[in-house]
Amino acid sequence: MNFKVQGALLDGIHTDFIVALFENTIFIIVTQNSKLGTFYLYKPECLSTDDQGYDIKVLFGCEDENLTAGVASLLRALNIDRRVIICLMLENSNFRTIRAIQEIISNLI
């Protein structure tokens, strides 16, 4: 297991990142208030040689279609090829914040 922690300012809000890399799963926590938020399970699935599909579902917490779409976009952009459990607690989940999260997580993975 590889474990990494980092903090950053996103739109003036302190954000903590925790990434734990396991053999077949990545566990990610992103929080802006030191609390846990909604947990998502992301599973990439290869549908064909030309297509990359995925399955994403809420494991625990509030279902928000916009945030779920942001999580899917984030993980697809990172091109992750294994299961991910990601927990997000964000004050603002706009495109700029998700993009900044993507950049930081890409450096931690």
Taking only the tens place, the pLDDT of each residue in 10-30 is 989 999 999 999 999 999 999
Q: Distance between CA 23 and CA 103 in Å, rounded?
A: 22
Radius of gyration of the chain, Cα coordinates, nearest whole angstrom: 13
Q: Distance between CA 41 and CA 85 in Å, rounded?
A: 5
CA atoms within 13 A on the CB side of 38: 19
Q: Distance between CA 99 and CA 109 in Å, rounded?
A: 15
pLDDT digits (tens, 9 = 90+) for 38-65: 999 998 875 444 455 678 899 998 888 8
Give domain 2-108's CATH architecture: 2-Layer Sandwich (3.30)
